[in-house]
Amino acid sequence: MEYISSAKNEHIKAAKKLTVKKYQKQAGAYLLEGWHLVEEAINAGITPKRIYATNKYLAERLLKPLYEITTEISDDVAKHLAETETPQGIFAILPLEEEKLDAPLAGQYLLLDQIQDPGNVGTLVRTADAAGIKTVVFGGGTADAHNPKVLRAMQGSQFHVKIVATPLPTLVKKLQQAGIPVYGSELNANAKPYRDVAPSDQFALIVGNEGNGMAKELLNVTDANLYIPIKGRAESLNVAIAGAVIMFHLTA
Amino acid sequence: MEYISSAKNEHIKAAKKLTVKKYQKQAGAYLLEGWHLVEEAINAGITPKRIYATNKYLAERLLKPLYEITTEISDDVAKHLAETETPQGIFAILPLEEEKLDAPLAGQYLLLDQIQDPGNVGTLVRTADAAGIKTVVFGGGTADAHNPKVLRAMQGSQFHVKIVATPLPTLVKKLQQAGIPVYGSELNANAKPYRDVAPSDQFALIVGNEGNGMAKELLNVTDANLYIPIKGRAESLNVAIAGAVIMFHLTA
């Protein structure tokens, strides 16, 4: 097995670039960090293009059949590749595959409208997974699904739910044509308390930008806008929290 | 009005230290950053010991009665004091007041058991506020309420709910003696789905450490342990998300 001890190695430099969207697109690949996530990827049937692992991981049963594509790295190299402060020392380069929506449209959807914070985006995907929602759509202005912070916050849920990037206005029309009700989540004069809508096997929930909320053009076409009644004096909820409360209600 | 243009000024050095627990305790004061939060503090009737503000804020109506305790600072000084990347340019030194629990114990409580991530701690306080819970108790091992990241994530909810730091094992006994049911939130053999417990005006909900969950000594004495049924394949939920879903159910 090859061994790389220098962060200046060309392969390592190339791997590090695969944390950045521009280079991910060019190479059709992205870098994933951490044992748990790499394990989830392999268990999901994804074949990594390459694995970089410190000595600590080489004895793992799951890695043994992948020795041909595995390179051992030093702790220093692991530290260089890592986005976390205490790197675990295992990384995989995975193919960047664009997923498409299943046809015909059916079931439960979470739609992200300009959600900018990577932690919020990742947490929303993880929560959708836990709530049993099978598809999460990344609309324009939403943090990229392969951003390292998004990957970390998703905690592997990207391997359980379908993640699709597509403009929301067109999708919302198609969902409605397919008879799937589309709910916004914003407080306005016409909004109703989220508990007034019954749980259902079919819906699409849109959550909007942290500061500005949902795009007006979406808000105007939803079947209903839901809000969470605030009992105390907080002015609002974090978007991932609000999304979670509504998702767990609609999927109950 | 005094004007400070250098980050090396002694007052500025002293103010910066008030973001650190040790110095906060020594001085009996902490530094709060951002217009919205300073506004909430003043509106809550708290008199700052001092305000540092860039020129931009001096015309604010709310600040005018406080000119005697206000010092103008340069943008450079604001950048030095700030924890955020894009500082707003206003800071207040506020008295560090330790709050005590109301007696007799009554109502709804959120108890934080060793919650380490400042973002989670702050978000849980903000969410408790929104759900109408009036008291949040910081148990041992929980990030400090005056940590700058906690302050930011609370979004001013610290001025709406009572925040008390006290060991949880003793408090849990007292709550139970007062007839208030104490719920844990962890999946174990005896746990029940959170929806099996009816909303109530009186309860205490404990949420536990991100990685290790609740302390065993607490888990063993709760009246019930609640869990959120996972429908998809996510292994768990973020602690702030789980806390939010259960809080909004129990306070519905």
Ramachandran region, residue A137 (left: φ > 0; alpha: ψ -120 to 50; beta: rest) = beta
Q: Cβ of A241 and B133 within 8 Å?
A: no
Residues B133, B201: Cα–Cα separation, whole Å: 9
Smallest Cα distance from B4 to chain A, Å:
32
Spatial contact of B160 and B95, defined as CB atoms under 8 Å apart? no
pLDDT for A215: 95
- A246, burial (CB in 10 Å: exposed 0-12, middle 13-18, buried 19+): buried
**CB-CB under 8 Å, B234 with A157:** yes
Closest-CA residue of A relative to B193 is A252
Chain A partners within 8 Å of B195 (Cβ): 252
* CB B201 within 8 Å of CB A231: no
DSSP bridge pairs for B224: B183
Percent of chain A with pLDDT over 70: 100
pLDDT tens, residue by residue, B47-101: 999 999 999 999 999 999 999 999 999 999 999 999 888 888 999 999 998 899 9
Average the pLDDT over A100-127 and give the result. Answer: 97
Cβ distance of A235 and B155 shorter than 8 Å: yes
Confidence band of A86 (pLDDT split at 50, 70, 90): confident
Structure letter (DSSP) for residue B195: G
Q: Chain B contacts of A232, Cβ < 8 Å?
A: 128-134, 157, 160-161
Which residues, including other chains, have CB under 8 Å from residue B109's CB and lie 6 or more apart?
Answer: B133, B135, B136, B137, B175, B180, B203, B204, B205
Q: What is the pLDDT of residues B143-171, one digit of tens each?
A: 999 999 999 999 999 999 999 999 999 99
Residue B116, min C-alpha distance to chain A (Å): 16
Judge contact between A29 and A49, C-beta under 8 A.
yes
Q: What is the pLDDT of residues B187-212, one digit of tens each?
A: 777 799 999 999 999 999 999 999 99
pLDDT given for residue B3 in this prediction: 97
- The string of pLDDT tens digits covering residues A13-36 is 999 999 999 999 999 999 999 999
Secondary structure of residue A65 in the 3-state scheme: helix
Tell me if B232 and A161 make a contact (CB, 8 A cut-off). Answer: yes
ipTM: 0.93
Checking if the pLDDT of A188 tops 80, the result is no
Residue B223 C-alpha, separation from nearest chain A C-alpha, in angstroms: 24
The predicted pLDDT at position B190 comes to: 79
Alpha-carbon distance of B48 to B35, in angstroms, equals 13
**Which one of B237, B241, B251 has the shortest CB-CB distance to A231?**
B251
Residues facing A109 on adjacent strands = A135, A204
Contact B2, B71 (CB under 8 A): yes
Q: Check B123 against A232: CB less than 8 A apart.
A: no
The mean pLDDT of A71-80, rounded to a whole number, is 96
Contacts of A160 in chain B (CB under 8 A): 232-234
Query: Is B228 in Cβ contact with A126 (below 8 Å)?
Result: no
| Angle of CA points B26, B32, B34, to nearest 5° | 165
Mean pLDDT of B109-128: 98
Taking Cα atoms as reference points, which of B43, B89, B83 lies closest to residue B66?
Answer: B43
Number of A–B residue contacts, CB under 8 Å: 100
- Burial class of residue A216 (count of CB atoms within 10 Å of its CB; 0-12, 13-18, 19+): exposed
Tell me: the pLDDT tens digits for B218-233? 999 999 999 999 999 9
pLDDT for the residue A85: 80
pLDDT band at A174 (very low <50, low <70, confident <90, very high): very high
Q: Which position has the token pair 């996530």?
A: A37
Facing B231 at nearest CB: one of A123, A230, A251: A251
